Structure 1
Amino acid sequence: MPIRPVSPEALVDELAALVDAARYRRWLRVAIDGAPPAAPHELADALVAPLRVRGRPVQRVRADDFLRPASLRLERGRTNPDAFYEDWLDVRGLTREVLDPLGDDGSGRILPTLWDTTRDRATRAAYVTVPAGGVLLLSGALLLGAGLAFDLVVHLSMSPGALARRTADADRWTLPAYRRYADEVDPAQFADVVVRVDDPRHPALVTACGDPSTQ
């Protein structure tokens, strides 16, 4: 599969242009999927200004703010990789509060955060309304294969070796979950764009990806 090296700045510019050109009805739900060392949150943050310059309203959401309560999330222990893979993300809450309201028949009214994992309680965030033509940039790990509705998906790919090297010691227990994700979901097959980020300073676009503006 052809791979094209790009600078981090060029990557942001190309992705912003792709998002801006993508077909949509009322809103565009964009997922930036990747393990923490791949920096999905940082890439999503970097896309905000270029999209707003293009006249697109942007709403940022982090999947980390839609985790399940500790009583459910940690029921099998604090460092259980299968629980991390299967139980941590509140798929129903994310669908109900963010993705469905931005679907074809949605209201545009979303909840930007749901659960504060530090305090283990609801964030009590206020609802916000995303204007028509707006873009949702949702970033996080293990987002694909669970039935979440996205209109455009960017997957940040790392080799197993690079992921292991760049994962903090305190988080190495999560590595088996990412191996399951690669084996069972194969996230690149869900993605419109795959970016290889074994070295985040030198990303590379997998150029064989489909153009969502033509789908």
Structure 2
Amino acid sequence: MQVTPLTPERLVDEVVGLVEARSQRVRVALDGPRPTGPVELARRAAEALTARGRAAVVVDADDFLRPASVRLEYGREDPDELLDGWLDVAGLRREVLEPAAPDGSGRVLPRLWNAAADRAYRDRYVQLPADGVVLLAGALLLGRGLPLDAAVHLRMSGPALRRGLPPELLWTVPAHERYARENDPEGIAELVVLADHPDRPAVRR
């Protein structure tokens, strides 16, 4: 096992490399708790891919949560429900990941549900070309049977996660601990990034 320190810029290059190894449509998950910045990494990778001629769509998993009446049935701070019931897995498959498959229609919906307003977005569908890229970013994404072509896991230890989260989100830590035990994101991901210090990441090969 080898650990290679990287700059944040080189980490973007690593993500881009996962995509450029494939010539057809690619569905990549960037999975990590909020302090690791998975959405920010996805946006930077999308910019780099676009500069290289690959159309890329960033999908924030927080825009595919289930309605509050379902998501918060057991309260607003239930870590088990956060892991098991918040993400609209069926919606992600139907609106993004299945159409973005190499043999799919290419017609993807970047956002489905506005969790803050608890209503649907009114976004238009985006048509991905035959070599287009979906970058799905967020937390607790792997080990759910989502159809993906590649995955990056931004690993953060429990103490680092507690330091990085704002006080109102500390209740989510048990969900991340259970996720690491039961879903094995490190075993699933092609690229595991050690992100206790997000400004000084390292890749474990």
Fold conserved between structures, TM > 0.5? yes
CA distance in 2, matches of 1:159, 1:44: 21
Give the C-alpha shift of residue 10 in structure 1. Answer: 1.5
1:13-38 CA-to-partner distances (Å, cap 9, x unmatched) read 23223321x225x3100110000011
Within 5 Å, which residues of 2 pair with 1:41-190? 41-190=39-188
Partner in structure 2 of residue 211 of structure 1: none
Equivalent residue pairs, number? 205
Runs of 4 or more consecutive aligned structure 1 residues displaced over 4 Å after TM superposition: none
CA distance in 1, matches of 2:11, 2:109: 29
Secondary structure of 1:92's match? Answer: helix
2:26·2:102 contact (CA, 8 Å) conserved in 1? no
Percent identical across equivalent pairs?
53
Secondary structure of 2:98's match? Answer: helix
The TM-score normalised by the length of structure 2 is 0.97
2:102·2:130 contact (CA, 8 Å) conserved in 1? no
State which drifts further: 140-149 or 11-20: 11-20
CA distance in 1, matches of 2:62, 2:194: 22
CA distance in 2, matches of 1:104, 1:135: 10
Say yes or no: does 1:27 pair with 2:25: yes
Partner in structure 2 of residue 212 of structure 1: none
Partner in structure 2 of residue 16 of structure 1: 16
1:1-60 CA-to-partner distances (Å, cap 9, x unmatched) read 21010111111123223321x225x31001100000111011111111211121111111
Q: Provide the aligned C-alpha RMSD in A.
A: 1.0
CA distance in 2, matches of 1:97, 1:14: 27
CA distance in 1, matches of 2:177, 2:18: 29
* 1:104–1:46 CA distance, 2 compared to 1 (3 A): closer
Gaps of 5+ in 1: 208-215
The TM-score normalised by the length of structure 1 is 0.92
The AA in structure 2 aligned to 1:38 is T
Gaps of 5+ in 2: none
CA distance in 2, matches of 1:66, 1:6: 31
CA distance in 2, matches of 1:92, 1:13: 31
